[in-house]
Amino acid sequence: MASKKIFGIVLAGGEGKRLMPLTADRAKPAVPFGGTYRLIDFALSNLINSGLTQIVVLTQYKSHSLDRHVAETWRLSGLLNAYVASVPAQQRLGKRWFSGSADAILQSLNLINDEKPDIVVVVGADHVYRMDFSQMIDAHIESGSGVTVAAIRQPISLANQFGVIQTGVRKPTSIQKFLEKPANPKGLADSPDEVLASMGNYVFDTQALIDAVVADAELPDSKHDMGGDIIPAFVKAGNAAVYDLNRNDVPGATDRDRFYWRDVGTIDSFFEAHQDLISALPVFNLYNRQWPIYTQQLNSPPAKLVRDAHGNNGSMTDSIVSLGSLISGARIERSVIGPWSTIESNAVVTDSVLFDRVTVHANTVVARAILDKNVVIEEGARVGVDHEHDRSRGFTVTDSGITVVGKGERVAP
């Protein structure tokens, strides 16, 4: 990475309405993922692994668990002024909260002014991926643009789900158009069936970012959004470049997960991202020691899989079981089990995600379900088997048939 002073900003104030009820009591970046992680751990791990040592996390919505996780997990040495700091909305510009991601940066310009960096890296806090930002920073400096937008190749059939980037013919790293969820975009010159979708990660020249958010604040019709307002303004001015994730070489990456990126903004995508973790050759590999994903390591005993009192064997196939969990004579298939969970005799858990401290009592069935923290499935109960019955009990059931049980619920037979 070039010898510039780099400052990192993680936008973590999102409410995450499409992930309800998982976000009923916590901010979206604080939602547990993969057993022991929180969603924000992926953004922070990528920044730390990339060599950034001064990072702030801008929070707002129901941020207590997120602020606590950052404070307890991401403590860097105070030597050399290295830190990861959670910064809640402070109403520095009047009695109002953040009105968008660009406004969040506007109201936090004191953080930038204190550090006086040359370059600011701005990332979202709710995507699952690996990326070496030092390589993107070098590409940004080389481009000479005010902003560089990270992009990943996606099938053209999915273009209506993303902000799509169209580049110049003579200068393929220059952004010519930024299209929000287009119906009929052009494919890439070297791959007509693909488009470049914005990943929500940006590298800015510091003064260019400051000027942009200050100017945006004066526009009465702006939503003050980074992707919807700030980036299009840079594109209109001819001052935006794109960084194709295909150029990024993360140490330890496999051919299978090298360019993995998933926006887990819906229950379905959140569930599918968990399924990407559990196969023998996972689509996303949590076991890359050269580019680790860091999180809080609680003082917990190993997970244990044992016979029950009647001598029935427990079994586990294509699953992740976190520390502190006890499986006694139960069958687990294609599932992720969070820390300190208990699954008892003759219970069957398939294609499911359990958060921490979930209890599944004996003779139960849990299928295609997400069980939030401290959920108790009482003996003989069924979840995810009869969707109409699940809905009648107040549980969320998606169109694809995933049942979600909120934090602390007890599920009766």
- Name the binding residues for alpha-D-glucose 1-phosphate: 163, 180-181, 198
Omega before 21 within 30 of 0, i.e. cis: yes
Please provide residue 40's backbone torsions phi and psi, each rounded to the nearest 5 degrees. Answer: -65, -20
Length of the chain: 413
Say how far apart CA 353 and CA 37 lie, in whole Å: 13
Is the sign of the CA dihedral 184, 14, 134, 258 positive or negative?
negative
Instruction: Classify residue 301 by its DSSP letter.
Output: P
Please provide residue 81's backbone torsions phi and psi, each rounded to the nearest 5 degrees. Answer: 60, 45
Q: Which residues are part of a known binding site?
A: 163, 180-181, 198
- Containing 365, the helix (H) or strand (E) segment is strand 365-367
Say how far apart CA 258 and CA 269 lie, in whole Å: 19
CA nearest 376: which of 385, 364, 368?
A: 364
Who's near 274: CB < 8 A, 6+ residues apart? 33, 34, 336, 353
CA nearest 11: which of 24, 25, 28?
A: 28
Contact between 32 and 373 (Cβ < 8 Å): yes
For the chain, percent helix, then strand, then coil, each to nearest 5? 25, 30, 45
Say how far apart CA 54 and CA 36 lie, in whole Å: 25
Find the Cα–Cα–Cα–Cα dihedral 360, 362, 368, 369, rounded to 10°: -30
Q: What is the DSSP string of 88-119?
A: E---TTSS----SHHHHHHTTHHHHHHH--SE
Say how far apart CA 334 and CA 319 lie, in whole Å: 5
Instruction: Classify residue 79 by its DSSP letter.
Output: G
Q: What is the DSSP string of 399-413?
A: TT--EEE-TT-EE--
Contact between 210 and 109 (Cβ < 8 Å): yes
Ranges of H-type helices in 126-255: 133-143, 206-217, 231-236
